[in-house]
Amino acid sequence: MKPITIGMIGYGGIGRVHAMAYRDITYLYGLPANAVQIVGVATSRRETAQKAAAEIGCEFFTDNYHELLARDDIQVIDCCTPNNSHLEVLRAAAAAGKHIYCEKPLSLSVAEGQEIVAAVERAGVQSQMTFNFRFFPAMLRARQLVEAGFLGRIFSFRARYLRSSYISPSKPHSWRLNKAVSGGGALYDLGSHVLDLVYYLLGDFDAVQAHLETLIPQRPAAPGSAETVPVDVDDLALLHLRMASGVPGTVEISRMGTGAINDLSIEISGEQGALRFNSQDPTWLEIYDVRDADSPLGGMRGFRKIETVQRYDGAKAPDWSMTPNFTRTHAECQYQFLKAISEGRSPSPTLADGLRIQEIMEAAQRASDEARWVRVAEFR
């Protein structure tokens, strides 16, 4: 892979994960130390930018991201800013001729997402979304099985993403609870990930019926504050979906899933088989083969685990038998993007794929508001 240089815009919790993953790539694939380099970082305040640069090990830092875009020694912009700034940042990055790697979700709205995708296409730069859950080897294997027709005719699917990170009413207000900054709550924060897995495995969406609810409508303005601020985004989203293929399914998304730590799962049922995956047990993909009833041994029908562990093509370390983790999926998502740029081919998932997820999320918001089925065609 040819050396790639990166400029980071935004360096909160997820920005730190991205930086960790970039550093891992050279070790994971046995590449020279200069194969992946973060050259500079921009944050909203100079002091946080300086601290981020010291952590990353780069010399350039700024509180004006346009200074980062002006640098000739940066090829890729990694955007980890709050959702309401994606349009401005990505439009400017595309105009500067930088390839774009963007944290989910793509934007505040479909209209903004369309502007971003149009700007990227005009500029002719490459782009990729951070839909890292696609890059668990079990998910890569699931996609292979679906495409090979293992399931036969697909009947239905069920997916969920549950966390318990907001169950305490004393958790203070933040930008993620402000629709003007985040665009949505659990639906945008967690739903973008699980809806992308549905899209990755089953194709485009057709329509959605949804119920979105805010379970704690007021939160402290700051830690320990007696002053409260209204919450105008969802804590819980229940979706009934129909895919473009006609396959129906359900998706549950919640930041109020008491007892759940980081529970993302998906199940697909078909005429010839079924598969299921849970991110809490990422070493395995569970499959069910109806044809097992015809085994010469008889009585072999039932779900069984197939090992997927850390089977990444071309990886040098760690050993393939080790359990994959969250940061490893980020590294693989980033590596595939950088490799595509180096080889002059289109990466996946692109910002256009991110727009497909934006459409179904906004359709779900409208469906909940208007108590009806909403087709994604209304947003195209």
Tens digit of each residue's pLDDT (9 = 90 or more) over 197-218:
999 999 999 999 999 999 999 9
Q: Give 157's contacts (C-beta < 8 A, 6+ positions apart).
A: 198, 201, 202, 247, 248, 249, 250, 266, 267, 268, 269
- For residue 145, the model assigns a pLDDT of 98
- For residue 298, the model assigns a pLDDT of 62
Q: Is the pLDDT assigned to residue 107 strictly greater than 80?
A: yes
Q: Is the pLDDT assigned to residue 275 strictly greater than 90?
A: yes
Cβ 8 vs Cβ 41: under 8 Å:
yes
- Strand 236-243 and strand 205-213: the pairing is antiparallel
pTM for the complete prediction? 0.96
Q: Is the pLDDT assigned to residue 341 strictly greater than 90?
A: yes
Q: Is the pLDDT assigned to residue 293 strictly greater than 80?
A: no
Q: Is the pLDDT assigned to residue 297 strictly greater than 80?
A: no
Domains of the chain: 4-132 (3.40.50.720), 134-317+357-370 (3.30.360.10)
- For residue 175, the model assigns a pLDDT of 96
- For residue 20, the model assigns a pLDDT of 97
Mean of all residue pLDDT scores within the chain: 96
Q: Where does the pLDDT of residue 295 fall: very low under 50, low under 70, confident under 90, or very high at 90 and above?
A: low
Q: Is the pLDDT assigned to residue 16 strictly greater than 90?
A: yes
Q: Where does the pLDDT of residue 249 fall: very low under 50, low under 70, confident under 90, or very high at 90 and above?
A: very high
Q: Is the pLDDT assigned to residue 300 strictly greater than 80?
A: no
Q: Where does the pLDDT of residue 148 fall: very low under 50, low under 70, confident under 90, or very high at 90 and above?
A: very high
Q: Which of 45-59, 85-99, 235-249, 286-300 has the lowest mean pLDDT?
A: 286-300
Q: Is the pLDDT assigned to residue 301 strictly greater than 90?
A: no
